[in-house]
Amino acid sequence: MSKGFTADDVSAQTGRTFLVTGANAGLGFEVSKVLAARGAHVILACRDAAKAEAAIDRIRTDVSDAKLSFQPLDLADLDQVRDAANMVLAGPRIDVLVNNAGVMIPPRMLTKQGHELQFGVNHLGTFAFTGLVHRHVDDRIVVTGSIAHRNGEMDYSDLAASRSYHNWARYQMSKLANLLYMFELDRRLGAAGRATQAIGCHPGVATTELQRHLPLPLRYMTPLAAPFFNSAAQGAWPTLQAATGAHVQGGDYLGPQGLGEVSGRSGPARASRAARDPKLARELWERSVALTGVDPGL
Read off the pLDDT of each residue in 114-122 and give the average, rounded to a whole number.
98
171: annotated active-site residue: yes
The 10s digit of each residue's pLDDT in 234-266 is 999 999 999 999 999 999 999 999 989 999 999
Categorize the per-residue pLDDT at 228 as very low, low, confident or very high, splitting at 50, 70 and 90: low
**Is the CB of residue 203 less than 8 Å from the CB of residue 209?**
no
d(C-alpha 79, C-alpha 106), whole Å = 22
User: Of residues 171, 181, 220, 253, which has the active-site annotation?
Assistant: 171
Percent of the chain's residues with pLDDT above 70: 92
Type of residue numbered 37: A
| Strands (E) located in the chain | 17-21, 41-46, 67-72, 94-99, 137-144, 197-201, 253-256, 266-268
Residue 142 neighbours by CB under 8 Å, 6+ apart: 96, 97, 98, 99, 100, 198, 199, 200, 201, 239, 242, 243
Cβ pair 251, 151 in contact under 8 A = no
* pLDDT for res 211: 46
pLDDT averaged over every residue in the chain: 93
pTM: 0.93
Please check whether residue 255 is in contact with residue 261, taking contact to mean a CB–CB distance below 8 angstroms.
Answer: yes
Q: Taking the alpha carbons of 26, 284, 171, 202 in that order, is the dihedral positive or negative?
A: negative
Residues 21-41: what's their mean pLDDT? 98
Residue 214 has pLDDT above 50, yes or no: no
225 pLDDT higher than 60:
no
Query: Rounded to an integer, what distance in angstroms lies between the CA atom of residue 71 and that of residue 57?
Result: 15
Kindly tell me if the per-residue pLDDT of 222 is higher than 70.
Answer: no
Closest CA to 11 of 244, 278, 282: 244
- Secondary structure of residue 254 in the 3-state scheme: strand
Percent of the chain with pLDDT over 90: 90
Q: Spell out the domains of the chain, with CATH numbers in brackets.
A: 9-292 (3.40.50.720)
Determine the pLDDT at residue 229. 73
Mean per-residue pLDDT, 154-179: 96
Rounded to whole angstroms, the Cα distance separating 4 from 69 reads: 31
Three-state DSSP at 21 gives: strand
Q: What is the pLDDT of residue 206?
A: 76
Note the pLDDT of residue 208: 53
Helix, strand or coil, per DSSP, at residue 83? helix
β pairing state of 17-21 and 94-99: parallel
> What pLDDT sits at residue 219?
45
Classify residue 250 by its DSSP letter: T
Reported as a pLDDT band with limits 50, 70 and 90, residue 33 is: very high
Grade residue 218 by pLDDT with cuts at 50, 70 and 90: very low
CA angle 13, 17, 18 (to 5 degrees): 95
Torsion, Cα 47 52 55 60, to 10 degrees, reads 150
